Structure 1
Amino acid sequence: MSPFLSTLFKIAVFSLFVGAGLSFVNISAEDILGSVGLSPLQLWIYMLEFRDWAIPNMILGAFIVVPVWLVIYLFRPPRAG
């Protein structure tokens, strides 16, 4: 398994155990959100607004980053071995 997928799996398993522990002591996601002044609906709206902002900016940045990366990759000296 790749290191990235392995790390994602470990984070998912650890999150499951922490969530189960919090559930065991009767702490819910709504309780934690409420302590910082958010509701689940407000959090969902913020996530959608972030998505609507991030995707166009990622595409815009890719117009510069991808060609620069490609030029650097093509002119890099070959690796030994």
Structure 2
Amino acid sequence: MFSLLVGAGLSFVNIGAEDILGSVGLSPIQLWIYMIQFRDWAIPNMILGAFIVVPVWLLVYLFQPPRSS
């Protein structure tokens, strides 16, 4: 909801995404390239983390003492 209001306000004063990106020294193409590089870095690291976390969680879950009701 808030983002919709901010977008409408920026549109009202004629400020676009290109203007905001230009003020920090980026173009939309550069931002897209950075997003693809981040995705290519993040996905293998998330999978590697899952190979460690899921088996440890499963072992802890299997060997914890039973809970009383």
Does TM-score exceed 0.5, indicating one fold?
yes
Show structure 1 runs of 5+ residues with no match.
1-12
Larger radius of gyration: 2
Work out the percentage of aligned pairs sharing the same amino acid. Answer: 84
**RMSD between superposed Cα atoms in Å:** 1.5
TM-score (structure 1 length as normaliser): 0.75
Amino acid at match of 1:26: N
Report the TM-score, using the length of structure 2 for normalisation: 0.86
* Count of residue pairs brought into register by the alignment: 69
Query: Which residue does the alignment assign to 1:49?
Result: 37
Question: Within 1, Cα distance between the matches of 2:41 and 2:30?
Answer: 16
Q: Please give the alpha-carbon distance, in whole angstroms, between the structure 1 residues aligned to 2:40 and 2:66.
A: 40
Cα drift, residue 74 of structure 1: 2.6
* TM-fit CA distance, 1:76: 3.5
Aligned to 1:74: 62
Q: Out of 2, 6, 14, which is 2:2 matched to? A: 14
